[in-house]
Structure 1
Amino acid sequence: MSTSAERHSESICEQIVTAVADREGVDPLDLVPLYEAVGPEPRRSLFASASENVGRPSASHSFTYHGYEVTVDGDTVDISKQPERPDSELSSPR
């Protein structure tokens, strides 16, 4: 799924939370807040105001949110479901 500038009225953060909630069939307020799920560097970029980024090249950031791989590149958001790992990969002793 890709979203971009067609949702100008929503921030990147709102786009991410809304898209994941839609895919999960839940209210966005039922999800863990995005700021709790994202590390400090991507969080600074995601929450920075547009005026702070004028004239700067956009950086691409990827992180996991509620079982989805999220990549933000400028004003484009890509969200894909993370593949589930078989139980054998989760608990096999090595």
Structure 2
Amino acid sequence: MAIDAATVRKVARLARIATPEDRLEPLAQELNGIMTWIEQLAQVDTDGVEPLTSVVHAGLPLREDVVTMGGDADLITANAPKSTGGFFVVPKVVE
């Protein structure tokens, strides 16, 4: 897929990127170079290779799912700068 100056102009307009006319052709050449690399990557044989979501195989620590009576609101809000009736009081941020 060859990218020309008209395609770069269109993509720049859609992305709302101001691109001077004299930069369109160099950008088209750069993008064509990137597309060449992508085409080379597409030719790599990946049969039998498992997809990776991470380079580290670490699981999340699990805990027992136990039903409790909930937290003690007074204990939880004890360190709050300001609380009322078991709720945190914060400054109003919306007029």
TM range (shorter): under 0.3
* Higher strand fraction (1 or 2): 1
TM-score in terms of structure 1 length: 0.21
Question: Which structure ranks higher in relative contact order (CA pairs < 8 Å, sequence separation ≥ 6)?
Answer: 1
TM-score in terms of structure 2 length: 0.21
